[in-house]
Structure 1
Amino acid sequence: MNVPVWHLYPDAGQLAERLAAAIARMAVEAIAARGAFHLVLAGGHTPKAAYEVLPRLGASWQHWHLYYGDERCLAPDDLERNSRLVQDTLLAKSPIPTRQHHPIPAELGAEAAATAYTHLLPAQRFDLVLLGMGEDGHCASLFPGQEQGFAPDAPAVLPVHHSPKPPADRVSLSAARLRQTRALFFVITGAAKAPAIQRWRVGEDLPAARVGAGFDVWLDAAAWGAPAVRYET
């Protein structure tokens, strides 16, 4: 399994600032090269902080296209929805066209939403995928011991039932589709994640480790859980 590139930051605040800057830079590069920036968004506190910074750094919003790695089967305005978090942060302060914001219609139920979202995804690779990691090593809504969709012919979008974290019903891009991207950043902060990071580093077969193989992992010192040789600058 290919190892990831580890990027270490002193704290979550600095990581969020650098992440927002990297997203803005990659958007400029993608738009210049291909005329559009296709970004898959993650939920969580650290991505939220980056989304709050991004509106003052980004540009050419008319060329941004937003997607989601997973979503909870809840009402569209539920505060636990990833799309609600993005709506209240990034979208509240940036003029990305509504038609280019593609939330997962998880309120339809897992199966119907998975089918509908399959038809909304772009035919080409994403430019950047953002993912977090749970304390059990899951990413998006791909949990240990459940279907994760790593096979090349796996569906692009999976209905998820019996999630070990509530709500039980969710929708997730498959591992194979998440890896169809030019760049993938895991964004992981906090001491609670340190045990899973250590398991990843010693080669345990975690969903996050398999999805992130060969890509990039951004961490703060607490998540790294060991003395860092150097921090990113």
Structure 2
Amino acid sequence: MKPNIEVFADPSQLIERALELTLAEIKDAIAQRGRCTIALAGGNTPKPLYEQLAQQDLPWQNIHIFWGDERYVPISDPQSNAGMATKAWLNHVAIPPTNIYPMPTQAADPAEAAQTYNQQLQTFFGTGPKEFPRFDIVLLGLGPDGHTASLFPHTEALQVCDRNVTVGNKDGQPRLTLTVPVLNQARCIFFLATGANKQDALTEIFAETADATHYPARLIQPIHGKLSWLLDTAAGEPLQKYL
């Protein structure tokens, strides 16, 4: 299935569209399966979306929040993805605390923390060791180097295909990240990307041939789900020919 690509005049229009699509997927998931599972992205781009979601009247008891990746810092740290989403969104709605599943970052060994979250996902989704959970919605960002989640170029995490969660590496700093097979099981993936510094990566991601180990976002190809790229004009210039 070809990805859906939409380019907007400015980031605010992108966020409006992301909100519209996210709300539609939430309502559809709850109508069909009684719940909606979402894996959140970190970074600055999705923060306005979270702030908009905080203003919505939704059946919060049916929504379950996870994360696609996390820096290995306490949730109180300004760099924490879970901390950002909590302040921008989750603290402002009546979602049960038991419906929120931040990645654990307390263990001395990040590999131990990755295994803990791996087990949490298996328990929640009822999957076995050789099965992958299927999120209803996965939100992803894009780095200028072509990384997404904490799947960085030429790192071991790109090759992990036998578990849900692994340890990513950014300049020697550990992070937790969902693996490529988990992301590709999602029913719906939204990439949100802004800024001219994403153009080179996007050119390679959408090229007919390119090295996916150098541009990891190329690896994100949902098996049975929908893939949408929501970009502002600055980021989306190289993709005009695909529209």
When normalised by structure 1's length, the TM-score is 0.89
Cα drift, residue 119 of structure 1: 1.5
Q: Residue 166 of structure 2 aligns to which amino acid in structure 1?
A: L
Q: 1:96 Cα deviation (Å)?
A: 1.1
- How far the C-alpha of 1:183 sits from its partner, in A, is 0.7
Q: Which amino acid aligns with 2:228?
A: D
Q: Does 1:136 align with 2:145?
A: yes
Shift in Å, 1:149: 4.6
2:232 is the counterpart of 1:220: yes
TM-aligned CA distance change 1:150 to 1:54, over 3 Å: same
Aligned to 1:146: 155
Distance in 2 of aligned mates of 1:216 and 1:33: 21
SS at match of 2:153: coil
User: For 1:46, what is the secondary structure of its paired residue?
Assistant: coil
The 5 A counterparts of 1:153-172 are 153-161=161-169, 163-164=170-171, 168-172=173-177
Structure 2 matches for 1:69-218, cutoff 5 A?
A: 69-108=68-107, 109-121=109-121, 122-123=124-125, 124-149=133-158, 153-161=161-169, 163-164=170-171, 168-203=173-208, 204=210, 205=212, 206-212=215-221, 215-218=227-230
State how far apart, in whole Å, the 1-side matches of 2:76 and 2:44 are.
18
Q: Which has the higher contact order (CA 8 A, sep 6+)?
A: 1
2:159 & 2:134 partners in 1: Cα distance?
A: 16
| 1:150 shift after superposition | 5.5
> Aligned partners of 1:9 and 1:148: how far apart in 2?
32
Q: CA–CA distance in 2 between the matches of 1:27 and 1:227?
A: 28
Q: How big is the shift at 1:3?
A: 5.0
- For 1:7, the equivalent position in structure 2 comes to 6
d(CA) in 1 for partners of 2:80 and 2:95? Answer: 19
TM-superposed CA distance for 1:34, in Å, is 0.5
Residue-by-residue CA offset, 1:39-96 (whole Å, 9 max, x unaligned): 0000122210100011223410110000001001112200100000111011121111
Q: In 2, distance between residues paired with 1:149 and 1:201?
A: 18
Number of residue pairs aligned between Structure 1 and Structure 2: 226
Say whether the 8 Å CA contact 1:21–1:54 is kept in structure 2. Answer: no
Unaligned runs of 5+ in 1: none
1:110 Cα shift? 1.3
Amino acid at match of 2:142: M
Preserved contact between residue 157 and residue 168 of structure 2 (Cα < 8 Å): no
| Stretch deviating more after TM superposition (133-142 or 120-129) | 120-129
* Aligned counterparts, 1:36-55, within 5 A: 36-55=35-54
For 1:201, the aligned partner's letter is F
Contact 1:110 1:160 (8 Å CA) reproduced: no
Residue ranges of structure 2 left out of the alignment (5+ in a row): 126-132
- SS of residue in 2 equivalent to 1:105: coil
1:106 Cα deviation after fit = 1.9
1:146-199 alpha-carbon deviations (Å, 9 max, x no partner): 123556x521100224x23xx711111101111111111111111111111112
Q: Give SS of 1:107's match.
A: coil
Aligned mates of 1:160, 1:200 — CA distance in 2: 20
